Each structure stands twice: as structure tokens, then as C-alpha cells.
Amino acid sequence: MRKRVVITGLGVVAPNGVGVPDFTEAIKNGVSGIQHDPELERLDFSCQISGKPTIPDELTLNYFTPLELRNFNASGILYGVIAGMEAWKNAGLTIETNDIPDWKSGTIFGTGTSGIEKFRESIYKIDDLQTRRLGSTAVAQTMNSGVSAYLGGKLGLGNQVSTNSSACTTGAESILMGFERIQSGLAQRMLVGSTSDSGPYIWGGFDAMKVCTFKHNQNPEQGSRPMSASASGFVPSSGAGALVIEDLETALERGATIYGEILGGNCNSGGQRGQGSMTAPNGIAVQKCITDALLNAGITASDLDTINGHLTATAKDAFEIENWCQALNLKGKDFPYINSLKSMVGHCLSAAGSIECVASVLELHHDFIFPNSNCEDVHPDILKWIAVSQIPQRLIHKKMQYIAKASFGFGDVNACIIFKKWNSI
């Protein structure tokens, strides 16, 4: 018999809030974390705004020793460790210091890249004939699994400790991977989530592809405009989101706070066939991902209270809405509410799915739907499919039961998770 999986801990490092309390207030009130970025201006990027979390030095020292920080320059690992360890503490779990690992707990913590800043710093200091001088700290910071390795060591995790990487679906995929491991009985508890590095070496390729906004360099907070007719591309951002998930029996035994339940979900790929490509989604696969997620969760489309979409503020937003309508067989005022956290934080790339999942769980737990910012001029192609009333621009207080969260990424990959409010049954 498959085990039920619940969410008992949350952690977040986002451009508009570091830590769950600040982040919760920010998303309720539509607070933006997008600012002018002097470095992008200096480098003559077309997009000169970004979303970067603010991490005070004293906060960093709560998670890393001065010795660890001596040659440390990996923003993604920093964000991931802070978010992951906040989620662990938020779950009411302690960090054991004995010599025996926690065999029942593990982590799957994703990233797109790791330690780009560290690798650039190391290379800049040497020439090709001095590559052995990269430094002994470079490996742990630049290997993709660096974030999960750091978390595994700091928490003493003895179950699976791994890193997944699947473009913008990374965060949602990591949660589903951990969910399946617990559901099958291979683990009792998993720390799941994802992170993304900051900076021009991460964002430069997207700017060159002309998928980043260029119209709002003088008005940063208005720059990220999912579902808007005046959107001109996404705002590059970074951060990390983390969830502690565990089997229901274990959570109840220890009297844990339960934020919600994961009912099920689905990951798939469009195979870069049909409309799909390296950078564009195959609509048939997107629709199948959504319908299969609902089937796996055992609910119907009409059960959904709201959808937390991928919705990046690019030309693909209307296509995403069309795919949701086709998959759910709902449109107009019958369509659920839908929102996009990217209106406040920008596109956090490999961290987007996990940060947005934290937001979704908070909506469920506290019975609200966060507003869409910068969407006063909804794109007319979207209004062909859903009513403007279903795109809330103010905070809505509503008794919640089911939320769908989806992420779609480069490589024509998709993920959709169904969250359910915890009702003590």
C-alpha cells in the first residue's frame, strides 16, 4: 500500500523575502523583489533589472563557518543551504551531531548550474598552464551536486542524497522524485527543493536570446508582467525553495505541523516533436502532463481552487493558458483562478518551481490566493480562453482545498504537482 506524503517544513530564499514569514507577507501584499542591477547596466545587457535575494553577512554565518567561507563563492549553494536548513528547522527537526547518519532521511535538491562565480573566479586567476591552481575548494562548489552534498553533510542525512537538473522544471521535479521515494517506502523523510545561482554568467545567455525584458529598466517593479499585453520578456532572478516532506504516519507520530498533502503529479517530455523544441513546449505534452497529474492525484479539473502557473511573461503565456484550458476542459468563468509568482520575483530559473511550490503551499495552509502584479492589461489572446475575473490582481481570501502547480522547461520538459489542504483525515 502506497504511503501518504505530507509537507511538514518550508524554507525559502526569494528576491522579495528571505525566510517564510517575510516571504508570506510579501506574496500576500504583492511586494516585488525586482530592482535595478548596476552590474547588468555596466555590462550593457538589454535587461538591466533582476531579482536577487538579500543575504546579510550575519545570516550567512548562521549556516557556514568562517573557515568554510574563506574561499566560498557559490551563491546557489548559499541560497540552497539557507532554504533547506530553514525548512528542516521549520519542520521541528533537530540536527544530530552523533556519528550515525539519519538513515531514514535524505535530500533531492536540484540546480541548473553550481558555483559559476567560483569557477570564473578560479579561472580568472590562472592561465591554461596553471590549471592545477584552481584550488582545493573549487570542486565542492562547482559540482552540480554541491548543494545536496552540503545539505547532506550539515544535516547528517543517510538516505538518498542527490541533485536533479531539468531546466525550469527542476524544483517541481525534485519534489515529485522525493514524493515517489517516500510513497514507495524507500525513505521516511526527504528534503526537496532547488536553487539557482545569481549573476551575469547565468543570465547572459538568456539576454542574448532576447527572452528577457528590455522595456522597464527605469521601472524595475513593473518589469515582470506575466499574462500582460505589454510584457516584453522575463526578469532574470535567483534564489531557492525547500520543503520537508514525509510519510503521514511519521508526521503524526511526532506531532508535526502539516502544511498540506501531496496527492500526486506527473513529469513528462514533448520529445521536441511537433511544436516542441529545445526552447518551446509541445502543447500536446503539456496537456498530457496536466491530465496525467490529475489522474495520478485522483481528482477532477473542477476540484481545483487555483493554479500556480509557469507563466514567465513571454510570448508563450497565452499558449500556456490555452493548454491549461484544453487539458482541464474548462474556460471562461469556469476556469480556476490562476496566478504567477514571477510577477513579484521574476524568473528564478532552476529555483522557480520550488519557490513557487512554497508559495502554493502557503496559499493552501493560510487560505488565500496571492495577486498577480503588473497585469492590468491582460493579453487579449488570454482573454479568448479565460475570464479576467480568474486572474486576480488583489489578494483573495478563500477556503482552499486543491492547488495545481506546474513548471515547464527548456528541453521540452514538464512537471505538474497537485497539492491538497491538510484536513486531519
Give whole-number Cα distances, 283 to 212, 270, 318, 324, 391, in Å.
22, 8, 12, 10, 21
Per-residue exposure over 88-116, b if at least 16 CB sit within 10 Å of its own CB, e if not: bebbebeeeeeeebbebbbbbbbbbbbbb
For strand 413-420 and strand 260-269, is the pairing parallel, antiparallel, or unpaired?
Answer: antiparallel
Measure the CA–CA gap between 92 and 231, rounded to whole angstroms: 42
Radius of gyration of the chain, Cα coordinates, nearest whole angstrom: 20
Which pLDDT does position 72 carry in this prediction? 82
Measure the CA–CA gap between 187 and 233, rounded to whole angstroms: 40
Q: Computed from CA positions of residues 302, 305, 310, 312, in that sequence, does the dihedral angle turn out positive or negative? A: positive
Hey, do 5-95+102-253 and 265-420 end up sharing a CATH topology, with the first three levels equal?
Answer: yes
Which pLDDT does position 60 carry in this prediction? 94
Which pLDDT does position 87 carry in this prediction? 98
Which pLDDT does position 96 carry in this prediction? 83
Which pLDDT does position 186 carry in this prediction? 97
pLDDT, averaged in runs of 10, over the chain (425 residues): 94 98 98 98 97 95 89 90 98 92 97 81 67 72 90 97 97 98 97 96 94 96 97 97 98 97 98 95 98 98 98 96 98 98 98 98 98 97 98 97 97 98 81
Which pLDDT does position 121 carry in this prediction? 72
Give whole-number Cα distances, 369 to 33, 57, 65, 391, 395, in Å.
19, 33, 39, 10, 6
Domain ranges of the chain: 5-95+102-253, 265-420
DSSP string spanning 362-417? Answer: HHHHHTEEPPPSS-SSB-HHHHTTB-GGGS-SS-EE----EEEEEEEETTTEEEEE
Cell numbers that stand for 249 in this block:
504516519
Instruction: Please give the model's pTM, rounded to 2 decimal places.
Output: 0.96
Q: Which fold does the domain 5-95+102-253 belong to in CATH?
A: Peroxisomal Thiolase; Chain A, domain 1 (3.40.47)
Q: Per CATH, the architecture of 265-420 is what?
A: 3-Layer(aba) Sandwich (3.40)
